[in-house]
Structure 1
Amino acid sequence: MSEKNREGKRTARERLAVEREKQKARDKRRRALIVGASVVCVLGLAAVIGVIAANAGKDDDESAGPVVAPSGAQGKDSLAIPVGKESAKSTLTIWEDFRCPACKAFELAYRDTIHELTRKGQLRTEYRLATIIDGNMGGSGSAKAANAAACAQDAGKFPAYHDVLYDNQPPEPDDAFADTGRLIELAGKVDGLDTPAFQECVKNGTHDSWVEKSNKAFTTGDFSGTPTVLLDGRNIYQDRSMTPAKLKQLVQDANK
């Protein structure tokens, strides 16, 4: 083989190696960002119409019984479940649906950072629950899981149960969370949560009307889908440059 041919093959191998490294970097970036319309649980027009039709002629606060907010809920109409110290200088607002795959992707990518910042008193997180997958895919798993999470908040176990629900999220078309028995079974993964009081709350749908009201606040808000993640009012989920490391830096800078 001539020296020219050997040089050509070596150059081709080097180009291939460079392209492979670039592809690895792109893949890593995609995993870190967890951003894009292809993974966002979009609030479709049909879902909005369905919500309006379902609630036509009903009193907002009584369509599913009296509105019972979970213990410690705050904000307008007590729709936010707070985690962290009120003295934290940054507030992260997260609109989520427990059946939403994009919400799970966000949680798996960011929650360790969020938990760390919350433990340090640097970040206060407000969780707000939506049920758009029930409207888009059919079923009631989003609503029942949200009620169960509110029941966990009553027991002071919301953060842990919230994470368990995402760790055990069924495929989007599978309405497994509609089974209250499954929701109670998952409570067994959280120390001290699976109590008669929690079971009764889940089975009776104690917070169903609160969940309905929370979802209405989402559907009538200026949101395109779940998750919607706001850091001090800024939508960071739509920021393609956002990563867990950048979120951490922004919060730490605010706390200096």
Structure 2
Amino acid sequence: MSEKNHDAKRTARQRLAVQREKQKASERRRRTLIVAASVVCVLALATVIGVLAANSGKDKSSSGAGPVAAPSGAQGKDGLAIPVGKDGARSTLTVWEDFRCPACQAFEAAYRPTVHSLVDSGKLRVEYHLVRLIDGNLGGSGSLRAANAAACAQDAGHFPAFHDVLYDNQPKETDDAFADNAALIRLAGKVKGLDTPAFRACVDKGTHDSWVDKSHRAFQSGGFSGTPTVLLNGKNILEDRSMTPARLKQQVEAADKG
């Protein structure tokens, strides 16, 4: 009987060891996906800077011409951040993102449940900064149009839900599907209460286009290397190759305890 118990315990330990290895492998795959997808977005940064410089003064939407209309509740320097979460949270996650960027979607897939949980518990506040990196790399205007629509959703009080819908329905990077305002409005139908005449008018008029362009220029002048750029209390977490959703949660909870 004692030998059987010993064998059972050994088998249980072996199962636990196999499970731990599977979890570690899963985390490694998620980090690899984010890093690999980021290569495209990093290359996009260099390209878009050249494109904007070459077309300075020629493209109204990229030159920052026209009045800058920040979305309702925008905060931070020049009103370029869309906040999500309680102002009193002890930790702030700053996210620079492009809705066309596959690396941003990879980050969402890996970290979204953890970020949502920390925000809902009042331990984390997120500041979203929207940029249009892929438009400059591959052409088109899907990054701009999607960012404007997200800002319109912020006006309506539905930014978090629409933000997630955009990533859940992100087209392939080479497919500029988000350039179609009608497509963005159809996606708004997935968020209860968002598809209203006011939202549609905001999307169709490009009410926040100049604001998105201003945010993009702030991204460039900030010296960031690509999207997503994710800062926890000012520190770039994606430069830490050991970072995982579990570690992010630990750091935020430690900060919350003081």
TM-score, structure 2 as length reference = 0.86
Partner of 2:151: 150
1:181 to partner: Cα distance = 0.2
Compared CA separation, residues 144 and 59, structure 1 to 2 (3 A): closer
Runs of 5+ unmatched residues, structure 2: 1-17
Compared CA separation, residues 222 and 175, structure 1 to 2 (3 A): same
Partner of 1:194: 195
Contact 1:141–1:178 (8 Å) recurs in 2: yes
1:73 to partner: Cα distance = 0.2
Q: Distance in 2 between matches of 1:195 and 1:227?
A: 30
Runs of 5+ unmatched residues, structure 1: 1-19
The structure that has the greater radius of gyration is 1
1:61 to partner: Cα distance = 10
Compared CA separation, residues 88 and 23, structure 1 to 2 (3 A): closer
1:55 to partner: Cα distance = 2.8
Q: Distance in 1 between matches of 2:176 and 2:62?
A: 26
Compared CA separation, residues 93 and 34, structure 1 to 2 (3 A): farther
Q: How many residues align?
A: 237
Partner of 1:109: 110
Write out aligned runs for 1:96-135 (5 A): 96-135=97-136
Write out aligned runs for 1:66-85 (5 A): 66-85=67-86
1:255 to partner: Cα distance = 0.5
Partner of 2:56: 55
Q: Distance in 2 between matches of 1:22 and 1:37?
A: 23
Contact 2:83–2:127 (8 Å) recurs in 1: yes
Partner of 1:12: none
More helix by share: 2
Q: Distance in 1 between matches of 2:59 and 2:31?
A: 41
Compared CA separation, residues 80 and 183, structure 1 to 2 (3 A): same
Partner of 1:8: none
Per-residue CA deviations over 1:222-242 (Å, capped at 9, x if unaligned) read: 211000000000000111101
Q: Distance in 1 between matches of 2:120 and 2:71?
A: 22
TM-score, structure 1 as length reference = 0.87
Taking only aligned residues, the RMSD between alpha carbons, in angstroms, comes to: 2.2
Q: Percent identity?
A: 62
